[in-house]
């Protein structure tokens, strides 16, 4: 059974059909790409998968569970985490505290325990500190744990955003244009990071990306979205040489 099954997904905004009869199947452990021209509906699909929008029709199954109608935080707890094209960190917080924000899905203490600093509060905070540092060390960010997120270089901010998403312990990680704004060296390092995340965490990854070098270098499967509909799908090498895909990108 596929980890993610999307069937007949559709949504309209003010009479405009943004996504229509969209389908997607992603097997566990796959590194999958969703590509297409600007305005094709890629980020809308991500927003549907994460509960930002509720579809007009269709179903979204994560590990066999229909998540349509769930709130974003509920979908995150079910197992989907994401990053954004424009990095969304808590920039006034430290690197470690950004990761701890993701861990709060799994480490809970009551309001009273937090206010009065009862023993369970310190226990949970210690556990989160240790877990956050372990995750940061995996991405070579542990030496900057106390640095404000805003003071990190751009490439490391991207890496921190991925680390925070992984702190929620997802089954599926959505990356929205992770290479946006990166120079070639940063993009190369990002490719290595994405492969590392998939292999180390046994993660299933779906990414939106315009950088075709990155897409062809890491994606195993692709779906091409155009005018809200799936133009073609399949093995990355086959899709990238499909005449219809070339036509959609070149606008011929």
Per CATH, the number for 1-70+174-194+204-252 is 3.40.50.300
Three-class SS state of 26:
strand
Continuous H helices in 79-221? 95-103, 111-115, 119-138, 154-166, 184-201, 212-218
pLDDT at 105: 74
Architecture of domain 80-169: 3-Layer(aba) Sandwich (3.40)
Q: Assess whether pLDDT exceeds 60 at residue 82.
A: yes
252: pLDDT strictly greater than 50: no
- Summarize the confidence of residues 34-51 as an average pLDDT: 95
The length of the chain in residues reads 252
Find which of 45-54, 107-116, 227-236 is predicted with most confidence, using mean pLDDT: 45-54
Decide if pLDDT at 115 tops 60. no
Boundaries of every domain in the chain: 1-70+174-194+204-252, 80-169
Residue 121 confidence (pLDDT): 66
User: How many Å from the N-terminal Cα to the C-terminal Cα in the chain?
Assistant: 38
Supply the mean pLDDT for the chain.
Answer: 91
Region of poorest pLDDT, from 120-134, 182-196, 209-223: 120-134
CA–CA distance, 26 with 12 (Å, rounded to integer): 24
Average pLDDT for 157-177: 96
Query: pLDDT-based confidence at 176, cuts 50/70/90?
Result: very high
Task: Specify the pTM.
Answer: 0.92
Whether 80-169 and 1-70+174-194+204-252 are alike in CATH topology: the answer is yes
* DSSP 8-state assignment for residue 148: B
CB contact at 8 A, 160 and 98: yes
87: phi then psi, degrees, rounded to nearest 5: -50, 130
pLDDT at 41: 95
Give backbone dihedrals phi and psi of 214, rounded to 5 degrees, phi first. Answer: -65, -45
Token pair in block for residue 221: 């499967």
The model's pLDDT over 44-69, given as tens digits with 9 standing for 90+, comes to: 999 999 999 999 999 999 999 999 99
């Amino acid at each position: 059974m596929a980890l993610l099954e999307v069937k007949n997904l559709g949504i309209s905004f003010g009479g405009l059909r943004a996504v229509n009869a969209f389908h997607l199947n992603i097997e566990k452990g796959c590194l999958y790409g969703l590509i297409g021209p600007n305005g094709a509906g890629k980020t809308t699909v991500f927003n549907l998968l994460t509960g930002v929008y509720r579809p007009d029709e269709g179903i979204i199954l994560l590990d066999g569970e229909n998540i349509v109608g769930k709130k974003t935080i509920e979908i995150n707890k079910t197992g989907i985490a994401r990053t954004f094209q424009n990095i969304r960190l808590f920039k006034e917080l430290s690197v470690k505290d950004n990761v701890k924000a993701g861990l709060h899905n799994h480490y809970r203490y009551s309001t009273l325990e937090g206010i009065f600093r009862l023993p369970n509060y310190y226990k949970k905070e210690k556990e989160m500190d240790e877990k956050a540092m372990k995750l940061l060390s995996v991405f070579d960010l542990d030496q900057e744990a106390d640095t404000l997120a805003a003071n990190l270089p751009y490439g490391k901010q991207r890496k921190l955003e991925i680390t925070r998403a992984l702190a929620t312990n997802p089954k599926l990680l959505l990356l929205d244009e992770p290479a946006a704004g990166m120079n070639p060296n940063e993009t190369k390092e990002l490719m290595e990071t994405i492969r590392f995340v998939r292999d180390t965490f046994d993660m299933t990854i779906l990414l939106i990306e315009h950088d075709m070098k990155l897409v062809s270098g890491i994606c195993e499967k692709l779906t091409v979205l155009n005018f809200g509909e799936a133009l073609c799908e399949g093995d990355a090498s086959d899709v990238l040489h499909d005449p219809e895909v070339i036509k959609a990108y070149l606008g011929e």
